[in-house]
Structure 1
Amino acid sequence: MSEVKKNTLRTGTVAAGATLMLLLSSPAFAAGRDDGEQPGPGLSVVETLGLFVAAPIVLYLLIAGLVMVGSRGSKKHS
């Protein structure tokens, strides 16, 4: 068997095993609350979307903009 086929078979086996382990595992100790735990109020839909959707997009655009501005100044015109 060629080296490429061995690597492909090994990768597929590891991926299948990891997927199986994730599907069969249950959340550890997530069923009940711990003593003294005081959860805060939940997030609204707007807060959740802002935190997990809008904020990463804004950060990505900000970083991309800073990189573009920084690379524009370093070009040498010949």
Structure 2
Amino acid sequence: MDKKNALRAGALAAGTTLMMLLMSSPAFANIRDDGDDPGKGLSVGETLGLYVLAPLALFAIIAGLVMVLDKSKDRQPKAKAKA
């Protein structure tokens, strides 16, 4: 019974995915919609800064704040007492 349910779930997921792909519009459509006004594209430097450097900087800032504002004094984990 378990194999039958897994096959049914897989078929349902595959069918749903296929229908979503068939009904969605192409990502790089040549026909513009009414009111569509795309701006200029990003350069390589702007793209790397926005999608690589900015998240890394944000991560470093948050990690630094957590380390600086950490109030605990004991850095080593305590050994469990044997019962």
Coarse TM-score class (shorter-chain normalised)? 0.5 to 0.7
Unaligned runs of 5+ in 2: 75-83
- After TM superposition, the score normalised by the length of structure 1 is 0.57
Alpha-carbon spacing, 1:51–1:69, altered in 2? closer, same or farther (3 Å): same
Return the letter of the residue paired with 1:45. Answer: V
Q: Which protein is bigger by CA-based radius of gyration?
A: 2
Q: What SS is found at the alignment partner of 2:33?
A: coil
- After TM superposition, the score normalised by the length of structure 2 is 0.54
Distance 2:34 2:42 in 1: 23
Q: Relative to structure 2, which stretch is displaced further, 37-46 or 26-35?
A: 26-35
Q: Residue deviations 1:46-73, cap 9 Å, x none?
A: 0000000000000000000000011x33
Number of equivalent positions: 72
Alpha-carbon spacing, 1:23–1:39, altered in 2? closer, same or farther (3 Å): closer
Within a 5 Å distance, the mapping from 1:15-54 to structure 2 comes to: 27=26, 30-54=29-53
Q: Relative to structure 2, which stretch is displaced further, 30-39 or 46-55?
A: 30-39
RMSD: 3.2
Q: What SS is found at the alignment partner of 1:63?
A: helix
Identity rate of aligned residues, in percent? 66
Unaligned runs of 5+ in 1: none
